[in-house]
Amino acid sequence: MSAAVATSQAIGPPLWLLLELTYRCPLQCVFCYNPIDFAKVEDELTTDEWLRVLREARALGSVQLGLSGGEPLLRDDVEAIADEAHRLGYYTNLITSGVGLTRERLSELRRVGLDHIQLSFQDSTREMNDFLSHTRTFELKNRCAQWIKEHGYPMVVNCVIHRLNIDHLDSIIDMAVRMGADYLELANTQYYSWAHMNREHLLPSREQLQRAEQTMLAWRERMKGKMKIIFVVPDYYEQRPKRCVNGWGTTLATIAPDGTALPCHTARMLPGLSFPNVRHSSLREIWFESEGFNRFRGYGWMKEPCASCEEREKDLGGCRCQAYLLAHDAAAADPVCSKSPHHGVVVAALERAQQSRVPEAPLVFRRRESSLTHS
């Protein structure tokens, strides 16, 4: 048996199901991980098609469900989807900017059994939040936070961290504390899609990062037992790559708005790989038999230095999308790894990040026109 045709016994269930209900979003965040060419995807799945995906995935063992986007609340069937998900036994997480949320919708979501809401902020002040998302949404988000608390949900706040807001970390954490957050996710930007295009603007300096970590650790100590702070470091500053999505085709199945099934939400960018669509195949066929999901399972696809590396089982060679973006080969070692022959690309990006300079290329906001121009 070759590694590429693993049998279904060897493959675990897709425990995590992520539904990207739509790529539409009123926000225009400069670090968005949706594909650059999102504007070309128009044919969204219908409610019935999403419900079928839910049933098929649950039968395979999916249990954690993410409803994301774009902004999922731009669809008027999030309630119907959450209702069916609850009936099937999913733990349902809504990942939202808050745009489109009302008290009425929240009551209905609560009633049908939505388990948790993750609300995103871009920064701690109206000026920066509204600049980074290119929308006037700061006050709306604060209102949403209040409603979420009122409805008895755990309060989960997410803020993507990068060069332009990392120095405000103290006031970002302070804001989350004042909101009564139970969990705060401070996710340093990972450089894919729009964030990759804007990397020169977004990658923090080492000094910024160290200061931020100290600030975070002090708050973590202070809020022990009251608020859980999750801090995701930018992997460019690591010596070994991350075990991306817990391993290709091991845990996560993402369904894009048009029904394309992906082993991770950015895998769509990889050339030469065909990903199946839930409109044409069952999720069982997709998960166990499709070329797209089998391509990077196991170790058989690895090249040197990964193939003979003693740490290959730990990090699985890192992230395939990052290998493609930085080494132009999706089967190469993730260049974040210091053993990668392409590691110099990461080192050079880090060196530029230590200088105080204004990048030549302008900051590109994630909007329809830019999507069509850049794809």
Partner 1 sequence: MTQADRPSIRPGIRLQWEAVQNAYVLLYPEGMVKLNTSAAEILRRCDGLRSVDEIVSDLESAFNRNGLQPEIEHFLQLARAQGWLSAAQS
What is the binding site for partner 1 (CB under 8 A)?
13, 15, 60-61, 63-64, 66, 89, 91, 93, 115-116, 118, 152-154, 156, 182-183, 228
CA 326/CA 342 separation, integer angstroms:
8
Angle at 67 between CA 65 and CA 73, to 5 degrees: 155
Taking the complex as a whole, the smallest distance from the CB of residue 105 to partner 1 amounts, in Å, to: 19
Taking the complex as a whole, the smallest distance from the CB of residue 8 to partner 1 amounts, in Å, to: 13
Taking the complex as a whole, the smallest distance from the CB of residue 156 to partner 1 amounts, in Å, to: 5
Give whichever of 187 and 331 is closer to partner 1, judged by the CB atom: 187
Q: Two tokens at 319?
A: 């992230």
Q: Could you give the count of Cα atoms lying within 13 Å of 63 in the half-sphere of its Cβ? A: 4
Give whichever of 106 and 156 is closer to partner 1, judged by the CB atom: 156
Q: Which residues face 92 on adjacent strands? A: 65
Taking the complex as a whole, the smallest distance from the CB of residue 116 to partner 1 amounts, in Å, to: 4
Give whichever of 110 and 367 is closer to partner 1, judged by the CB atom: 110
Which letter does DSSP use for residue 203 in this model?
Answer: P
Taking the complex as a whole, the smallest distance from the CB of residue 293 to partner 1 amounts, in Å, to: 17
Amino acid at site 214: Q
| Secondary structure of residue 232 in the 3-state scheme | strand
Among the listed residues 57, 21, 26, the one whose alpha carbon sits nearest the alpha carbon of residue 41: 21
Among the listed residues 132, 131, 82, the one whose alpha carbon sits nearest the alpha carbon of residue 110: 82
Give whichever of 52 and 228 is closer to partner 1, judged by the CB atom: 228
Taking the complex as a whole, the smallest distance from the CB of residue 157 to partner 1 amounts, in Å, to: 11
CA 95/CA 118 separation, integer angstroms:
5
Taking the complex as a whole, the smallest distance from the CB of residue 272 to partner 1 amounts, in Å, to: 32
Angle at 325 between CA 321 and CA 330, to 5 degrees: 50
How many Å is the Cα radius of gyration of the chain?
A: 20
Give whichever of 4 and 59 is closer to partner 1, judged by the CB atom: 59
Give whichever of 156 and 346 is closer to partner 1, judged by the CB atom: 156
Give whichever of 242 and 343 is closer to partner 1, judged by the CB atom: 242
Taking the complex as a whole, the smallest distance from the CB of residue 230 to partner 1 amounts, in Å, to: 9
CA 165/CA 121 separation, integer angstroms:
11
Sheet holding 183-188, edge to edge: 228-232, 183-188, 155-161, 116-121, 91-96, 64-68, 16-20, 252-255, 261-262
Asked if 121 and 91 touch (Cβ cutoff 8 Å), the reply is: no
Cβ count near 18 (within 10 Å): 22
